[in-house]
Amino acid sequence: MKFRDDRKGVESAMPDTQNHEARRHPESEHFDHQAASDGIISVETTHWAGAALKGPHFDLFPDGQPQIEPQVSKGDKGTTLSAGALSATIHPDQHTFDIRFHSTDGSKALTSLLGRSVGLAYNPAPSNPMQTGDMRDFRHYIFTQTTLGIGESVHGLGERFGAFNKVGQSISLWNADGGTSSDQAYKNVSFWLSSRGYGIFIDTPGKVELEIGSERCSRVQTSVQGQRLKWYIIYGPTPKDVLRRYSVLTGKPSTVPSWSFGLWLSTSFTTNYDEATVNSFLEGMKERDTQVDVFHYDCFWMKAFTWTDFVFDSERFPDPKAQISRLKESGLVKKVCVWINPYIAQHGAAFKMAAEKGYLLKRKNGDVWQWDLWQAGMGLVDFTNPDAVKWYVDCLNGLFDQGVDCIKTDFGERVPTLDVEWFDKSVDAHKMHNYYAFIYNKVVYEALQARYGTSEAVLFARSACAGTQRFPLVWGGDCESTPEAMAESVRGGLGLGLCGYAFWSNDIGGFEGYPAPWIYKRWVAFGLLCSHSRLHGSSSYRVPWTIDNDDRSEEGCSRTLAKWTALKTRLMPYLYAQSAKAVENGWPLSLRAMCLEFPEDQTSWYLDRQFMIGDSLLAAPVFEESGEVEFYLPKGKWTSFFTNQIREGPGWFKEKHGFGSMPLYVRENTILVLGKPGIKGAVYDYAEDVEICLYQVHDGANAKLVDNQGNALGTLKIGSDGKLEGKELLGGSWTTSDNGRKVEESYLKTIQWL
């Protein structure tokens, strides 16, 4: 149901800004409000309704739009449109522009559109309306300003590496290859989450400019170039509820296979390598007691400057199918991944045919669009051409035929908007810039699904826009090998998780530069507690013995990596069960921002150096060479995973850790299922020979059990008599630890409470 509000002349001229040099009274704007789903209302403002509405458009409600019976009522406060739990009330005075968004039960005021909050702008400013008869020399913008409440914080908007709370920031949603140390982002997602219990999804893949309490301290301004601006307001009341509804609107994350949670090892980006190098890496890892589940061939599996032509370098890899087969048969690795991108170099085997067939993006004069950025004569695959998609999938199938199991979809941000013409003439080149990440990753992900099955597909993607959470997974891009960059990566992962991304990874040790041993080891601890874990660098390797001259001591890089890989392996029964919950609800598995679990704790909305792993584990990475770390525990009893010592929150705490530990705390009333010590690899029987660890449990505590294919086995729970129920689900020699897990006393010597 739509509710239209046509009010003219209610907006005042606004001060000039960098992006909008002229503000004008809207003389023909109208608003459409629509009840989209339970707890979701769309808001659309239009200036000239006759403007062409070019694509691409976000694929909304991909699993079907839930039925909603909207209600319209009138009262003293105005006319109210209700979409289940969310309502919008329009002021009864026809001369007052006032739209209030609130919970239908009246318990929560969310945000508003008030006077001077909707308008349009021209750039440059016309001196009289007659000039707008020819719009070729003018840019037209439309904007809205929603109110910010006192103390309200704003989060999300993709993988952003700056301050976690976006209030006070100016943000451009425009994909760029900028690393992790600037306000540029690879993954711009037009969704933000408010601490007041709602979220806003901006329904355009084009560039969005946001002034979040920056141009006007009490408002969030959203502006786009064009004649229309549409967004959805999504009610909670909790942030978990907001994300659950957002995932219905833009798509739920897909399931990833259990093997993908194991350790991934890369050759690094610009390093040369061959079969002997690969074997030496994997044999070295095995010798040092670390199992690698996925080996990743980065760009030099192809000849230099032929990227991407899908052809293995015949000098280094004369028989790639046989080599990959030997790797798997040896038990050194379970799966193999290769690096690709959507750029086609003219020196590669694929370019000539792709250009002749029209598979590459063209300039308006008919030439293939090319430039020399990244590599000489680079073209770009035009995924709006169905034949180009088929060709690209055929190339991928050729890799699958050789034993490749998963794909790293790198790049996808350098997409031109000027002097280009897509095969699909109905698309706007400006909107294609961000949206390209969606179609690129969708094509590759669905090719993997077609070959290996719906739940076996895995990407390692860098670029993203709204909706790509459906094609897991993503990693954080090019970070430096510094503690500051590790903190930037944490912030990026937290922000992206608040946009419905269940799975996230980063380059352990940092991508650029040469990590000092202490940084590498602290990053190993952080990286192995992310949902997915990969060792990867730029021009230097990330196998541990190259970092510290093969220090074999307990505090050396090799033993540190072995310990944390073993810990993640033991956590797999918990992690895989939690991943199913994350997929179902659109929640991040890890990194999960503290505010998702503790929204009533105001401190949780500002914590950007720690995170939850699922519902019950709290982790705080160490960023200091000394091993000192400060972290916050919300209300309740928290048990150290490593020592079983108990702290009680809320409060800030300080500790000092050796390289084999960090603040890792278990929430009270948790049943934590751990795999058998010493098991290798992420895939095993998650219900056999397990340790059932009880942490201050009482009646109702429970833990879901799943097998390594993600099938539900049942639930362990504490009954009214205080005893564990569901034991029949367990096999082998399982044990129960009543007051936390069985710990190693050595940790009592390496962890200090300060």
- Kindly indicate the confidence band of residue 45, based on its pLDDT and cuts at 50, 70 and 90: very high
- pLDDT(177) > 60: yes
- Kindly indicate the confidence band of residue 151, based on its pLDDT and cuts at 50, 70 and 90: very high
d(CA 174, CA 194): 21
**pLDDT at residue 16, as a whole number:** 36
d(CA 555, CA 659): 6
- 3-state class of 171 per DSSP? strand
**pLDDT at residue 343, as a whole number:** 96
Number of domains, the chain: 3
Residues acting as catalytic residues: 410, 413, 478
- 3-state class of 114 per DSSP? strand
Q: Once rounded to an integer, what is the mean pLDDT over residues 675-697?
A: 97
User: Does residue 378 contact residue 343 with C-beta atoms inside 8 Å?
Assistant: yes
- pLDDT(23) > 50: no
Cβ neighbours of residue 402 closer than 8 Å, sequence gap 6 or more? 312, 320, 321, 324
Query: Token pair of 720, please?
Result: 């009214």
Q: Which of 87, 142, 117, 77 is nearest to 218 (CA)?
A: 117
Structural domain includes residue 159: no
Q: Once rounded to an integer, what is the mean pLDDT over residues 28-51?
A: 89
Enumerate the H helices of 685-740 as residue ranges. none
Q: Which of 623, 665, 614 is nearest to 488 (CA)?
A: 623
User: Does residue 206 contact residue 446 with C-beta atoms inside 8 Å?
Assistant: no
Type of residue found at 326 = R
| Same domain (yes/no): 558, 633 | no
| Same domain (yes/no): 262, 327 | yes
Structural domain includes residue 249: no
Q: Once rounded to an integer, what is the mean pLDDT over residues 27-50?
A: 87
**pLDDT at residue 29, as a whole number:** 56
Cβ neighbours of residue 409 closer than 8 Å, sequence gap 6 or more? 340, 341, 342, 440, 441, 444, 459, 460, 461, 462, 463
Other C-beta atoms closer than 10 Å to the C-beta of 197 total 20
CATH value at residue 16: 2.60.40.1760
Structural domain includes residue 43: yes
CATH value at residue 647: 2.60.40.1180
| Same domain (yes/no): 417, 459 | yes
Query: Token pair of 596, please?
Result: 């998702």
Q: How far is CA 179 from CA 404, 453, 475, 485, 718, in A?
A: 28, 33, 12, 10, 47
User: Does residue 126 contact residue 132 with C-beta atoms inside 8 Å?
Assistant: yes
**pLDDT at residue 563, as a whole number:** 97
Structural domain includes residue 105: yes
| Same domain (yes/no): 695, 571 | no
**Where on the phi/psi map is residue 581: left (φ > 0), alpha (ψ -120 to 50), or beta?**
alpha
Predicted TM-score (pTM) of the model is 0.95
Helices (H) and strands (E) counted in the chain, each on its own, are 11, 39
d(CA 267, CA 285): 13
| Same domain (yes/no): 579, 704 | no
| Same domain (yes/no): 225, 324 | no
H or E segment to which residue 618 belongs: strand 617-619
- Kindly indicate the confidence band of residue 21, based on its pLDDT and cuts at 50, 70 and 90: very low
Instruction: Report the C-alpha dihedral over residues 320, 321, 324, 329, rounded to 10 degrees.
Output: -140
User: Does residue 275 contact residue 301 with C-beta atoms inside 8 Å?
Assistant: no
Enumerate the H helices of 105-178 as residue ranges. none
d(CA 561, CA 567): 10
Q: How far is CA 58 from CA 102, 202, 467, in A?
A: 26, 10, 7
Whole domain around residue 209: which residue ranges?
A: 2-147+198-235
Report which of residues 173 and 4 the model is more confident about.
173
Enumerate the H helices of 453-587 as residue ranges. 483-497, 517-527, 557-585
Eight-class DSSP state of 530: S
H or E segment to which residue 476 belongs: none
Other C-beta atoms closer than 10 Å to the C-beta of 466 total 30
Lowest-confidence pick of 63-77, 118-132, 216-230, 704-718: 118-132
CA atoms within 13 A on the CB side of 424: 20
Q: Across 269-389, where does the E strand assignment appear?
A: 294-297, 335-340, 343-344, 379-380
Q: Across 269-421, where does the E strand assignment appear?
A: 294-297, 335-340, 343-344, 379-380, 406-409
> Rounded mean pLDDT of the chain?
94
The sign one gets for the Cα dihedral 119, 122, 126, 128 is negative
Cβ neighbours of residue 276 closer than 8 Å, sequence gap 6 or more? none
Tracing tokens 């069960």 back to the chain, one arrives at: 577
Q: Once rounded to an integer, what is the mean pLDDT over residues 114-139?
A: 89
| Same domain (yes/no): 678, 566 | no
Q: Once rounded to an integer, what is the mean pLDDT over residues 429-442?
A: 98
Lowest-confidence pick of 24-38, 401-415, 584-598: 24-38
- pLDDT(725) > 90: yes
Among 585, 610, 630, identify where a domain stops: 585
d(CA 650, CA 594): 13
| Same domain (yes/no): 482, 575 | yes
Query: Token pair of 215, please?
Result: 């141009």
User: Does residue 101 contact residue 197 with C-beta atoms inside 8 Å?
Assistant: no
355-411 confidence digits (pLDDT tens) = 999 999 999 999 999 999 888 899 999 999 999 999 999 999 999 999 999 999 999
d(CA 457, CA 127): 56
- pLDDT(1) > 90: no
- 3-state class of 608 per DSSP? coil
225-246 confidence digits (pLDDT tens) = 999 999 999 999 999 999 999 9
Cα 618-622-627 angle, rounded to 5 deg: 125
Eight-class DSSP state of 186: S
User: Does residue 348 contact residue 309 with C-beta atoms inside 8 Å?
Assistant: yes
**pLDDT at residue 749, as a whole number:** 87
601-641 confidence digits (pLDDT tens) = 999 999 999 999 999 999 999 999 999 999 999 999 999 99
Structural domain includes residue 268: yes
- pLDDT(3) > 80: no
- Kindly indicate the confidence band of residue 15, based on its pLDDT and cuts at 50, 70 and 90: very low
| Same domain (yes/no): 578, 719 | no
3-state helix/strand/coil string of 395-461? HHHHHHHCCCCEEEECCCCCCCCCCCECCCCCECHHHHHHHHHHHHHHHHHHHHHHHHCCCCCCECE
| Same domain (yes/no): 691, 571 | no
Structural domain includes residue 380: no
Q: Across 130-168, where does the E strand assignment appear?
A: 139-147, 154-158
Other C-beta atoms closer than 10 Å to the C-beta of 412 total 27
Among 585, 610, 639, identify where a domain stops: 585
| Same domain (yes/no): 270, 141 | no
- pLDDT(462) > 90: yes
Structural domain includes residue 188: no
CATH value at residue 425: 3.20.20.80
| Same domain (yes/no): 623, 496 | no
Q: Which of 364, 485, 336, 495 is nearest to 425 (CA)?
A: 364
273-311 confidence digits (pLDDT tens) = 999 999 999 999 999 999 999 999 999 999 999 999 999
Structural domain includes residue 128: yes
